[in-house]
Structure 1
């Protein structure tokens, strides 16, 4: 049977492999889950030879060009800014004392070398002081055009999409998914991100610059719950 040290080495190697696989370099463009949803194809009307009017080939001057069906595109304006802070201070103090009167034994005090043996008193002092503070803020601005993936039963639109930008030796990407109301879509076919329900916004990158700012797999191992200390 393998010794305990061998089993421990196998577990350590497996943990290193799993942590190494968590690197965001596995994220790449062309993921099928984030591909643009094609529009619903409608069979064109049959041509009418010799007629001036051809069904299905007219131009409607009063059509609403805002997204309202599967495959339509809509621009999401990223306006994300959050600030959170918390501070707490607690101070408590308690002083207590108990004095027991001098007792008598056989009609007189009990002493030893002039010291009253039955004279008793108890006192205690308790002090506590705690203080904590926490703050967090983030900001994201920009825009991304996504496609309508599904029209829900109540008319709301489920949208999703991604944008990849390659700069020098690195790639930056933005992914947005969520649900919007058609009434919130502006005349320019755009909607602010704070009006996207169940929004899932991802902004990250890959490449040499991103790798330089990432902790190595060995460091992540010692920072994980698998670390022995």
Structure 2
């Protein structure tokens, strides 16, 4: 009887490929804003050339058009806790004694019936989570919504030795929340998506191996 190792190898390769499933980006895929090129500058010898991208000297430089930049200040501090406790007690009892019995069964009157029982249950649980994220990231205005709100997105990549850290952010900003330093707090951004992930051997060391993941999924316990 010949035994083929091909099906077994195929199962292990399939399990290895499914061990670390790729996760989609929380902030969405990278986007680019297409800014139309200005018309060619006229060589008329004048200093004032509006075709070269004129902006008034005393104009408010807060972002209001697609392609403008905005600095997001991260100050995320989230804390949550939950606790629960349950106590339950129950007791019961029953007694039976025969006062009158038929003739010939008088001896049964000496035997009585007595039942008792009790039930006790105690349970408790608790959970606590704390997250802190601080820093800054400059994002780009991707779209100006009909109500003048700004849809922004930004990304920063930092390579350290053999690993790369990715910081991504997206959300909707109300222009009235932008301060004079052209920045806005992340807590004032609607639909905020903050992502801080990395790749490399350090990140791979934090993932479960494919064989261990396979055994964990097949284990009935």
TM range (shorter): 0.7 to 0.9
- Does structure 1 retain, via aligned residues, the 8 Å contact 2:38–2:51? no
Match of 1:88 in 2: 84
2:32 corresponds to 1:41: no
Within a 5 Å distance, the mapping from 1:141-180 to structure 2 comes to 141-180=134-173
Within a 5 Å distance, the mapping from 1:22-171 to structure 2 comes to 22=21, 33-38=29-34, 40-41=35-36, 43-44=38-39, 47=42, 49=44, 53-56=48-51, 58-106=54-102, 110-112=106-108, 116-117=110-111, 119-171=112-164
DSSP 3-state at the match of 2:153: strand
Residues in 2 aligned to 1:95 and 1:6: alpha-carbon distance in whole angstroms: 63
Q: When the two structures are aligned, how many residues end up with a matched partner?
A: 214
Residues in 2 aligned to 1:108 and 1:61: alpha-carbon distance in whole angstroms: 121
CA RMSD across the alignment: 3.1
DSSP 3-state at the match of 2:59: coil
How big is each residue's C-alpha offset from its partner over 1:42-69, in whole Å with a ceiling of 9 and x where there is no partner?
6448748366654445551221111111
- Does structure 1 retain, via aligned residues, the 8 Å contact 2:39–2:51? yes
Residues in 2 aligned to 1:170 and 1:179: alpha-carbon distance in whole angstroms: 30
- Does structure 1 retain, via aligned residues, the 8 Å contact 2:72–2:186? yes
- CA deviation after TM superposition for structure 1 residue 95, in Å: 1.4
DSSP 3-state at the match of 2:180: coil
Match of 2:193 in 1: 200
> Unpaired segments of 5 or more residues in structure 2?
none
- Does structure 2 retain, via aligned residues, the 8 Å contact 1:47–1:55? no
DSSP 3-state at the match of 1:104: coil
Task: Please report the TM-score for the alignment, with normalisation by the length of structure 1.
Answer: 0.78
- CA deviation after TM superposition for structure 1 residue 201, in Å: 1.0
How big is each residue's C-alpha offset from its partner over 1:91-147, in whole Å with a ceiling of 9 and x where there is no partner?
1111122233424124797324xx623x32322111011111211111111111110
> Unpaired segments of 5 or more residues in structure 1?
none
